[in-house]
Structures are given as structure tokens and as C-alpha cells.
Amino acid sequence: MEPTVELNSDFSEPGTTAVPWADVLAVLTGSEMFWLSTVRRSGRPHVTPLPAVWDEGVLHFCTGDQEQKSANLLANPACVLTTGTNRLHRGLDVVVEGTAVRVTGQDRLRRLAALWKTKLDWDFEVDAEAFHDDDGRTAWVFGVAPDKVLAFGKNPYTQTRYRFS
């Protein structure tokens, strides 16, 4: 599904155009690390780095069932994932806003585990509910279908918004 694309000229250099969605997809599929931002029950923010994989229009990540991220998402599934570069004058930073939904089902989880193996060389055992590592720890898998994506280009400086219906 192609998003609606809008260049924010207030935060872009004169004469620039919107970053093509294909460039954003390249970042989402190629990036290994993302920053997940969630909100604790107290309202305080919680941000942590983690690997994620893009598949079928959804950004997927996993986290231990006893971790703070899981507790936060169960209470409030709204979240943001960011990736990009720490460079000022080059690269493309991408922000994905959406709602985390727990992914279950053995076939779907097997497909995602294969992507984790291919992209990150991480091995997981899979059952109908979660991933499991070699030490027997359980990792819940979440998927975030974007509501909105922001892309920040740095040479030239641009800000592009992508909305999904």
C-alpha cells in the first residue's frame, strides 16, 4: 500500500522535493537497529534500542515477556520506532508512529523468525505464541503498521510525511 506523501516546506530547504517512499523503504528494510519509544503506566517515557525487521508493510520487533517494554505496550500500545544515522549532513532518519499489536500464530512467527535469522543471524525456536531463545527465555513479537512515517533528509534538508489509510 502506497502512502499519501507530503513535503513539509517549513522544515525543508527551498526547492527540495519529498523523499520518495522507495528511499524510506530502503532504510526500513536495511536498518538493523531502531529506537523504540513507549510510555510507562506513570506517564514517563521509556526508550530503548532493539533490532527490528520490516515485512509486508509492518515493522516487527521482539521483547521479553517480562521486560518494561512489554508492560508498557500492554498498558498503552501506542509507540514510535526510529532509525537512521547520527550524522548531521548525510543520511535519512525515519520515524514510524503506530500501534503495537502482538503477533501470534506459528506460521507467521516462523516466517518472522526466518527473517531474524537472515537479517540478524539470531536463532529462535517458535511456538504459536512467541519466540524462545536457547536459554528458554520467551520473547513476544509485536508488529507496528504505520499510521504515520516521517523522513528527515540531511543533504538537502527535508521533512516528508507519509500517511496510511
- Strand (E) or helix (H) holding 155: none
Residue with cell string 521509556: 46
Quote the pLDDT of residue 1. 72
Instruction: For residue 15, give the nearest of 153, 108, 133, 122 by alpha carbon.
Output: 153
User: Hey, what domains does the chain have and what are their CATH numbers?
Assistant: 4-163 (2.30.110.10)
Q: Tell me: the pLDDT tens digits for 62-111? A: 999 999 999 999 999 999 999 999 999 999 999 999 999 999 999 999 99
Please state, in angstroms and as integers, the Cα–Cα distance from residue 61 to each residue in 45, 141, 158, 159, following that order.
18, 6, 28, 25
pLDDT at position 2: 86
The one-letter code for the residue type at 158 is: T
**The pLDDT value given to residue 143:** 98
